[in-house]
């Protein structure tokens, strides 16, 4: 069978691949999109969206507890976990249908099956024992990443975030190994849902890479929620109990911790195995079985007509970044507008309990970058909890370049932090100064107003 000809062949129908395909088709390109599973990728099917739905669902426990301080008497409320999971599944199925409709309406041709490169222009798609070849003037790899378990005895007894999103019953005890985004977010979900959570991390605090002051504050907030945080620990094995009723996580010290579920939130690896990348001349960074694709700032690989975006390049692994990278590739190839994505000042959020969000530099990054900085910070008890009685504090922090006055970073722990940070990201992108923050009239009473009321600085000279 002769190969089908396209202007662009995309491998991977996640957020980045779909965005690139639709934008290229809108610019007049003939586009093929290859996907071995369901359309939507990690974010829609087993990441951001289902996780956020479980965050919403579990958050009602806090609302119910806090209501008593405002005079509400709510008796008998309980979480029916299977009902929550079923509702989440229905929404994910709906979104999958929306993605399929968008692709059809855009004129993108979808090929279901496993795709691999045969050469710099040819992709083979295999499904149900049958293969088809597609020829593309350009190829785009957008295959994302997958959860990784540590190589320890019994690791197969643990689960990852993929399975955690679809547990059919709520475990009474959960051990979470890992202290990054995913580990912290699931700690919040399961603890609010009613499980006893133990979080085991190798570092001295959760959320490595975030501002150190926020990391320490977040550990305090986890403890207030009753989450047992074990820092500086190595994991040696997972074992099933003698009666097969539960599991034991074995630490490097030999200590054994009992649990019903062990969730590994120990990082993700690029999905690059079995794609024929090296054979086509595409360079990889790291181990060959899960190496990241090496790309230029324009997302071009070592082969000039092959591009790669998103988590499989292991640059800044966030869904909106993959979408922006995909659209930039489409604009470069078919829109007559050479484009690249600026990976600086990208806002990010941890939807934990409480949420955390930031944009720009941490205090440590600013110092290491040679800036002379002023640091502004405040902690306070949110107004809501003066009546609810909940023991929690909001932390707000600004990092400012002293000579220019430019705000280099914004950081927050507390309710609505992600929503607030999205707006602040616009200001940071525009180069706003501390004087401009100060000139902004506060919107009272809000937590966000503290960002325009911070003074005096806590000076740090570098």
Token digits for 382?
Answer: 């949110």
Of 340, 339, 333, the C-alpha closest to 24 is: 333
Query: What is the distance between the alpha carbons of residues 147 and 186, in angstroms, rounded to a whole number?
Result: 14
Token duo for residue 378: 């405040």
Distance CA 296, CA 323 (A): 17
Which tokens in the block code for residue 264? 């590994």
Enumerate the active-site residues.
444
Q: Quick check: bond before 445 cis, omega within 30?
A: yes
pTM confidence score: 0.96
Residue 366 DSSP symbol: H
In the chain, the domains with their CATH numbers are 4-147+270-334 (3.50.50.60), 155-266 (3.50.50.60), 354-460 (3.30.390.30)
Residue 317 preceded by cis peptide, ω within 30: no
**275-288 residues labelled b (16+ CB within 10 A) or e (exposed):** bebeebebebeeee
Tens place of pLDDT per residue across the chain (462 aa): 567 799 999 999 999 999 999 999 999 999 999 999 999 999 999 999 999 999 999 999 999 999 999 999 999 999 999 999 999 999 999 999 999 999 999 999 999 999 999 999 999 999 999 999 999 999 999 999 999 999 999 999 999 999 999 999 999 999 999 999 999 999 999 999 999 999 999 999 999 999 999 999 999 999 999 999 999 999 999 999 999 999 999 999 999 999 999 999 999 999 999 999 999 999 999 876 789 999 999 999 999 999 999 999 999 999 999 999 999 999 999 999 999 999 999 999 999 999 999 999 999 999 999 999 999 999 999 999 999 999 999 999 999 999 999 999 999 999 999 999 999 999 999 999 999 999 999 999 999 999 999 999 986 554
CB atoms inside a 10 Å sphere around CB 168: 8
């Amino acid at each position: 069978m002769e190969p089908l000809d396209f202007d662009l062949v995309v491998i991977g129908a996640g957020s980045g691949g779909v965005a690139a395909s639709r934008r290229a088709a809108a610019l007049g390109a003939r586009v093929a999109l290859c996907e071995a599973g369901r359309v939507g990728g990690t974010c829609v099917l087993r990441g951001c969206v289902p996780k956020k739905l479980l965050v919403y669902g579990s958050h009602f426990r806090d609302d119910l507890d806090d209501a008593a301080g405002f005079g509400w008497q709510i008796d008998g409320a309980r979480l029916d976990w299977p009902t929550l999971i079923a509702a989440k599944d229905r929404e994910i199925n709906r979104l999958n249908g929306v993605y399929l409709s968008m692709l059809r309406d855009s004129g993108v041709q979808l090929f279901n099956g496993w795709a691999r490169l045969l050469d710099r222009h040819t992709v083979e798609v295999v499904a149900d024992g049958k293969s088809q070849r597609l020829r593309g003037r350009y190829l785009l790899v957008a295959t994302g990443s997958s959860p990784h378990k540590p190589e320890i005895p019994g690791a197969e007894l643990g689960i990852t975030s993929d399975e955690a999103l679809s547990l059919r019953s709520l475990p009474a005890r959960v051990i979470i190994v890992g202290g990054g985004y995913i580990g912290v977010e699931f700690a919040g979900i399961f603890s609010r849902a009613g499980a006893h959570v133990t979080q085991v991390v190798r570092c001295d605090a959760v959320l490595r890479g975030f501002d150190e002051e926020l990391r320490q504050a977040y550990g305090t907030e986890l403890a207030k929620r009753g989450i047992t945080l074990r820092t500086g620990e190595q994991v040696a094995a997972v074992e099933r109990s003698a009666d097969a009723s539960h599991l034991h996580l074995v630490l490097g010290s030999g200590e054994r911790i009992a649990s019903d579920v062990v969730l590994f939130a120990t990082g993700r690896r690029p999905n690059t195995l079995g794609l024929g990348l090296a054979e086509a001349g595409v360079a990889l960074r790291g181990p060959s079985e899960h190496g990241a694709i090496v790309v230029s700032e324009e997302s071009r690989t070592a082969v000039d007509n092959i591009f790669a975006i998103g988590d499989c390049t292991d640059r800044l692994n966030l869904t909106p970044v993959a979408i922006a990278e995909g659209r930039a590739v489409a604009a470069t190839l078919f829109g007559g507008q050479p484009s690249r994505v600026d990976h600086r000042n990208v806002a990010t959020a941890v939807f934990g309990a409480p949420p955390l969000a930031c944009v720009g530099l941490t205090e440590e990054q600013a110092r290491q970058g040679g800036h002379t900085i002023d640091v502004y910070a405040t902690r306070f008890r949110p107004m809501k909890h003066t009546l609810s009685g909940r023991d929690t504090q909001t932390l707000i922090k600004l990092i400012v370049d002293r000579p220019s006055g430019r705000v280099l970073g914004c950081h927050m722990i507390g309710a609505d932090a992600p929503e607030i940070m999205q707006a602040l990201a616009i200001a940071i992108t525009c180069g706003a100064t501390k004087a401009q923050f100060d000139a902004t009239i506060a919107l009272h009473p809000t937590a966000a107003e503290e960002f325009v009321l911070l003074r005096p600085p806590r000076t740090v000279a570098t």
